[in-house]
């Protein structure tokens, strides 16, 4: 069942990270020079935290 939780969370994190990056760029007024790197940092931080929470909640 963890596999399903991880998959759903990964999709939601991808969508949220993309939205967040677009919001940052909109506030800044121009695209970030290292857009891919910023996206990677955002999604990795969120993924590590949320996957750890899922792991802690789903282990008996």
Tell me what pLDDT residue 35 has: 94
Tell me what pLDDT residue 1 has: 81
Q: Residue 33 is encoded by which pair of tokens?
A: 């020079």
CA–CA gap between residue 9 and residue 50 (Å, rounded): 8
Low-confidence ranges of the chain (pLDDT < 70): none
Tell me what pLDDT residue 23 has: 97
User: Which pTM does this prediction carry?
Assistant: 0.84
CA–CA gap between residue 28 and residue 44 (Å, rounded): 22
């Amino acid at each position: 069942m963890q596999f399903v939780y991880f998959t759903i969370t990964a999709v939601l994190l991808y969508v949220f990270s993309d939205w967040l990056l677009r919001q940052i760029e909109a506030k800044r007024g121009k695209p970030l020079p290292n857009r891919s790197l910023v996206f990677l940092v955002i999604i990795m931080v969120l993924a590590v935290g949320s996957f750890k929470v899922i792991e802690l909640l789903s282990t008996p």
